[in-house]
Structure 1
Amino acid sequence: MSRIRERNRALILRAASEEFADKGFAACKTSDIAAKAGVPKPNVYYYFKSKENLYREVLESIIEPLLQASAPFNKPGKPADVLRAYIRSKIRISRELPSASKVFASEIMHGAPQLSAEQTSQLNTQAKHNIACLQGWIDQGLMAKVDPHHLMFSIWAATQTYADFDWQISTVTGKASLDEADYEAAAQTIIRMVIKGCEIAEDPAQSSEQVKLNVQ
């Protein structure tokens, strides 16, 4: 029974992510979520009690991956390695959780009314820690004297765009949807701009990323 419960919750949560991303919270109907998930409408209320709770669960489903993406900043590491891992994690979130990413972005643009105080604190604390790491590297002369806040904002924007503006990107590239090679090229391009732009020294072994990018 628990396996069926987990399956139904996952189906509803995925459908809700897509519906909230497409229509927004106010216009989204639980009947549409149920239909997309392939379950009876009462199941939505059975598992999540209300549309508000379901929306909060969608937000929760993206917050944990966002916090985990910052894991490279939480242990000692070289600037190039940390930033490379962080950018790749953020691109992976945009690829694997595009709908939840859109819901999160919309929530932030509206002043984060549904984020709990704990979630807001976690996100802000982690962001400040990441920025402090950047400032520390700047102070040590390991990277150029850029504004660490705006560097972080730029990385957020560059990686998040592959979720928020996937339709536009697909249209411009002439593809129905982006494939693995597209996301790999995106990650390498952003990594190269950040590392080269911030004048960060790299290990020779990492030059293979640049070679792959030049070949494409």
Structure 2
Amino acid sequence: MTSIRERNRRLILRAASEEFAEKGFAATKTSDIAARAGLPKPNVYYYFQSKENLYRSVLESVVEPLLQASAPFRDDDEPAEALKSYIRSKVRISQELPHASKVFASELMHGAPHLPKEYLDELNAQAQRNIACLQSWIDRGLLAPVDPHHLLFTIWAATQTYADFDWQISMVTGKESLSDADFEAAAETITRLVLRGTAPEGGEADKGEARLRPLPL
């Protein structure tokens, strides 16, 4: 059973994610966070001590899922399955943590002034390991000879757009919010494009792409 403390922290963190995503750090007031969470303002300070601590907690809430998403990137993994799993995990983060993801993206665009250096170093180290793994697969002929840096950047852009540019997506699709089926279609589409674009002719990535379900017309 969830304790009152855990429940209140979760409510505050979710409300803070939404406020920071809408207004940015400087313009967000702790009173607005408390009101959105449905809790007294002193509760925000009781659980997080300051707006700065709360902002860092929002950033940190998305760091661990981002690191976990890279788990499939191991040199002895099958590239098509690893890429498919990675893309699905990244889309899931945009679906389940849209506001925190938007806050995180904004933080990076401003030079990560509030993100603790240890998290920034860990994320960068993970990215370098992923790039090295992609290059290893390329060198062994398991992936087409594409630039691994830009392959990774392309996946980031394609998956994170569902959180960072949700307003534009809503405008284009005519939907207030995307359904589970929409996110499933997004993951399938991105995976299909990446696997076809990185598949050596007749290679394993072609087989991985073939295992995807046909997209609805």
Q: TM-score, normalised by structure 2?
A: 0.94
In the alignment, the residues of structure 2 paired with residue 212 and residue 138 of structure 1 have an alpha-carbon distance, to the nearest angstrom, of 27
Residue of 201, 207, 211 corresponding to 2:210 = 207
Give the total of aligned pairs. 213
In the alignment, the residues of structure 2 paired with residue 206 and residue 134 of structure 1 have an alpha-carbon distance, to the nearest angstrom, of 17
Q: Quick check: 1:41 aligned with 2:41?
A: yes
Aligned partner of residue 212 in structure 1, secondary structure: coil
**Alignment partner, residue 182 of structure 1:** 182
Deviation at 1:207, TM superposition (A): 2.3
Residue identity over aligned pairs, in percent, reads: 69
In the alignment, the residues of structure 1 paired with residue 37 and residue 75 of structure 2 have an alpha-carbon distance, to the nearest angstrom, of 40
Cα displacement string for residues 3-22 of structure 1 (whole angstroms, at most 9, x for unaligned residues): 11111010000000000000
Q: For 1:194, give the aligned amino acid.
A: V
Q: For 1:82, give the aligned amino acid.
A: A
Q: Greater CA deviation, 169-178 or 105-114?
A: 169-178
Cα displacement string for residues 60-79 of structure 1 (whole angstroms, at most 9, x for unaligned residues): 10000000000111463111
In the alignment, the residues of structure 2 paired with residue 197 and residue 75 of structure 1 have an alpha-carbon distance, to the nearest angstrom, of 20
Q: For 1:207, give the aligned amino acid.
A: A
Aligned partner of residue 187 in structure 1, secondary structure: helix
**Alignment partner, residue 4 of structure 1:** 4
Gaps of 5+ in 1: none
In the alignment, the residues of structure 2 paired with residue 76 and residue 37 of structure 1 have an alpha-carbon distance, to the nearest angstrom, of 45
Q: For 2:142, give the aligned amino acid.
A: L
Report the aligned-residue RMSD: 1.5
Query: For the Cα contact (< 8 Å) 2:81–2:208, is it kept in 1?
Result: no
Q: For 2:42, give the aligned amino acid.
A: P
Gaps of 5+ in 2: none
Deviation at 1:170, TM superposition (A): 1.4
